[in-house]
Structure 1
Amino acid sequence: MTSDVVLERLMRLHPKVIDLSLDRMRRILAALGHPERALPPVVHVAGTNGKGSTLAMIRAGLEGAGRRGHAYTSPHLARFHERIRLAGELIPEDDLLAVLEECEEANGGAPITYFEITTAAAMLAMSRVPADHALLEVGLGGRLDATNVIHPELTVITPVDLDHQHFLGDTLERIAGEKAGIVKRGVPLVMARQKDEAAEVIEGVAVRLGAPLRAEGQHWHVAREGGRLTFQDGRGLLDLPLPTLPGPHQVANAGTALAALRLLLPDAPSDDPAFAAAMAPDWPARMQRLTWGPLADLVPGELWLDGGHNPAAGEAVAATLAAMPKAPTRAVVGMLATKDVGGYLSHLAPHLEGLTAIPVPGEGATLPPGAVVDAARAAGIEADAAKTPEDAIRAHPAPRILICGSLYLAGHVLRSNG
């Protein structure tokens, strides 16, 4: 028996229609003896874009301060174990298998989503290992997300934008309201810079719940200055190296992480190595350069990988490309059918000499390559289709190739590239 076998069984319990609700989570957690109540102090992170990078920076900073921390993120790229870190280390196979089987037994065959039962497993595993903090990344939305069954010590909301409209609402205000569902009465909230409509909603929730707000532009500021990152708040100035994660948007994510660390490490002086440690997190598939492996060997120049999949992510990737040295760039794009492919590609169009569309391997909800080609041509991008990333690269070995459009595609690329 392996964890993969149990995970495959758990997939079959998935309801045919997902109704966002916390009832299934409350039921299984009660059957498990409420492990969510035995977690160390929780940092709960929501947002449309940047929440994974921000959480990784917070984790790196806490580890730089000598703190032991759990982390729960999703989705994984190569192996499910990536989703759960216990005291800084990926969950061992034996531990993962044990908690998955316990959750399967406690659930008793009842309908439950894959994310819900694996979130319960993560909380069960985290409740059994001593740590100073537990970092939880919201999967979808916030208010009715499976992670929203805890009482955190700190909540964090990264930039909110349009995504998952079929679940969260078709306006920025409605989506912001769902994200703000993680805010708890009296619990501090760190908020990244938001569009006005989203900021008004989130600030309103914070006021109503008496949650002390630390908002970018009001209580703290972050900027890139002379090849360095500067962060300023009421406690003073931090002068740090730029984040190792490439892209101008990572400066903003770093600011959000630093604002959180200021609250989590209230006694740390400005020269504490924890703040510098936050600038060098391990977080793959975020404009990651692949320099070795069979895929990289096919490219005459640079091979880049990014898992962003919505218009705001496309804008961030475009800004990163704009900041790079000029080079003919071709994209290899695979996306899911639930995503706004036209909005995503509209930002990339000025930076590409062409695009090859591929299906996302192993995903039934993949957007047909023909639909990606049509969207690319509508955005003014020369486009064709191929069956695999390898075929796409062989057909157009450009000096710079960017594989992008889906975290699931990014995971496939990392696995196939070794």
Structure 2
Amino acid sequence: MGGSDLILQRVMGLHPKIIDLSLDRMRRLLADLGDPQDTLPSVVHIAGTNGKGSTLAMIRAGLESAGQRVHAYTSPHLARFHERIRLSGTLIPEESLSNILTEIEEINAGRPITFFELTTAAAFLAFSRHPADFTLLEVGLGGRLDATNVVARPALTVITPVSIDHTQYLGDTLPKIAAEKAGILKRGVTGIIAPQQEPALEVIERQAARLSAPLQIAGQHWHAGPEGDGMVFQDERGLIDLPRPVLPGPHQIENAGTAIAALRALGFGAPEAEAALNNASWPARMQRLREGPLVEAAAAQSCELWLDGGHNPAGGEAIAATLSQMPPKPVHLICGMLNTKDVIGYLRPLARVADSLTAISIPGEANTLPAETTAGLAAKVGLPAATAPDLGTALDRLASANPVSRILICGSLYLAGRVLTDNG
């Protein structure tokens, strides 16, 4: 275990709640650190329910293709915390992370602070000390009171599709959730708005009008859609013919459109748009696993092994749409979920495309839903379900009983992280 891991374990105990949405503690800590958020390279701030990470990955790929140095802050991590902080294109080194966390821990002096607040402050401090051209910030939860929402004047804000999730923190209706996401809009700063359901869009437009924030809205100011084997993007500057995004799934065309609209607003053109689609990498989003011990176990029976960390109803719809466009093959799910999620809403679209579900509990995760509960909910939506004591057993059983099939491990980013760790 590295020094940074020990510090991160310690800071978990500095606040009784894992999530406590407020900006007061964050502003106090940042003031003590000299307000590093005010000296970041040009900030692109990204909120939304689904597609934030993929959209950020495509923006980053486009910018880097133009020789731009890009900082990026994302969450959660899958295998190692260092994935959250990317300095000028590379993951933060262990020594740098340990030093910055130690510095912040000393300055905070044991006062209440959440894990996400302290680690966001660490990212800001690291970014402020390393030269770059852009900083891409992904909101952790919501937007209005998220720890990332302390940058007074970003270069651009982006809101990806808004749907129902995290209702215990953000509200139980789409307009309430959209209002939290719209909290990242800033006076006079352009906002790029992905395709939205009408109740969400109305809230976003009202907030933008209050702030005189110009919007570039999907379907109004720009359009993106499939075209033959590729896709097209069109805005007031013209039409671009493009390849399909390398990230799989029809929903990635929507995310690609949002990323291209952002790149265009930052002054970039067709070459960067194409690179955004061709070069983006975002693990655990309909990712085909091609090597490692888990893959070897599946490949012995000629099974494909896929991984996805989506976990809400919109994520379930996206996975189902992706699977339905793949060459026909029996689909068997290995699913582990958290007890805070709308499991029925997530599984219902998957029941249309999958032949079975094997439920497991997520190892080492306090909020895991018991495998028996997940299996019971799968049966309720018409998905034949069984349980297994662990991932390895589930994979062996499925591959042996269903050779030449497509096995998808899904249901939680925490499970996806364990898979990537265990698979090397």
Q: TM-score, normalised to structure 1's length?
A: 0.98
Tell me which residue corresponds to 2:207. 205
SS in 1 for 2:315: helix
Aligned partners of 1:378, 1:358: CA distance in 2, in Å? 17
Q: Determine the structure 2 residue equivalent to 1:187.
A: 189
Distance 2:329 2:359 in 1: 20
1:55 alignment counterpart: 56
- Post-superposition shift, 1:11? 1.0
Match of 1:359 in 2: 361
**How many residue pairs get matched?**
414
Q: How far does the alpha carbon of each residue in 1:346-390 deviate from its partner, in whole angstroms, 9 at most, with x for none?
A: 010011111011111111001111110111000001111112211
Q: 1:73 is matched with which residue?
A: 74
Contact 1:160–1:176 (Cα < 8 Å) also in 2:
yes
Letter in 2 for 1:28: L
Offset, 1:14: 2.8
Ranges in structure 2 where 5+ consecutive residues have no aligned partner: none
User: Aligned runs of 1:149-168 on 2, under 5 Å?
Assistant: 149-150=150-151, 151-168=153-170
Alpha-carbon distance between aligned partners in 2 of 1:353 and 1:193, rounded to the nearest angstrom: 31
Counterpart Cα distance in 1 of 2:140 and 2:163: 15
Contact 1:302 1:400 in 2 (8 A): yes
In the TM superposition, what is the alpha-carbon distance from 1:214 to its structure 2 partner?
A: 0.1
Instruction: Name the SS of the counterpart of 2:122 in structure 1.
Output: helix
CA distance 1:276–1:46, change in 2 (3 Å)? same
Q: SS where residue 103 of structure 2 aligns?
A: helix
Aligned to 2:292: 293
**2:273 alignment partner in structure 1:** 275
Taking only aligned residues, the RMSD between alpha carbons, in angstroms, comes to: 1.0
User: Percent of aligned positions with the same letter in both sequences?
Assistant: 63
1-side partners of 2:157 and 2:181: how far apart? 11
Structure 2 Cα separation of the partners of residues 359 and 201 of structure 1: 38
After TM superposition, give the deviation of residue 269 of structure 1 in Å: 4.5
Residue type at the aligned position of 1:179: K
How far apart, in 2, do the equivalents of 1:166 and 1:331 lie? 28
* Structure 2 CA distance for aligned equivalents of residues 120 and 16 of structure 1: 18
Structure-1 residue corresponding to 2:232: 230
CA distance in 1, matches of 2:216, 2:363: 41
Q: Distance in 2 between matches of 1:357 and 1:11?
A: 29
Aligned to 1:374: 376
Report the Cα distance in structure 2 between the residues aligned to 1:17 and 1:303, rounded to whole angstroms: 33
Aligned-pair distance for 1:277?
A: 1.0
**Contact preservation (8 Å) 1:185, 1:210:** yes
SS in 1 for 2:188: coil
For 1:269 and 1:298, how far apart are their aligned partners in 2? 44
Quick one: which of 298, 301, 304 aligns to 1:302?
304
Mapped pair 1:315 → 2:317: yes
Give the aligned partner of residue 339 of structure 2.
337
Q: Is the 8 A contact 1:15 1:112 kept in 2?
A: no
Q: 2:239 aligns to what SS in structure 1? A: strand
Mapped to 2, the partners of 1:29 and 1:335 lie a distance apart of: 35
What does residue 395 of structure 1 align with?
A: 397
Unaligned runs of 5+ in 1: none
The aligned amino acid for 2:423 is N
What SS class does the counterpart of residue 158 from structure 2 fall into?
strand
How far apart are residue 16 of structure 1 and its match? 3.5
Alpha-carbon separation, structure 2, partners of 1:3 and 1:16: 21
Are residue 405 (structure 1) and residue 411 (structure 2) matched?
Answer: yes
* CA distance 1:242–1:18, shift in 2 (3 Å): closer
SS of the equivalent of 2:352 reads helix
Q: CA deviation at 1:73?
A: 0.1
Q: Deviations over 1:304-326 (max 9, x none)?
A: 00000000000000000000011
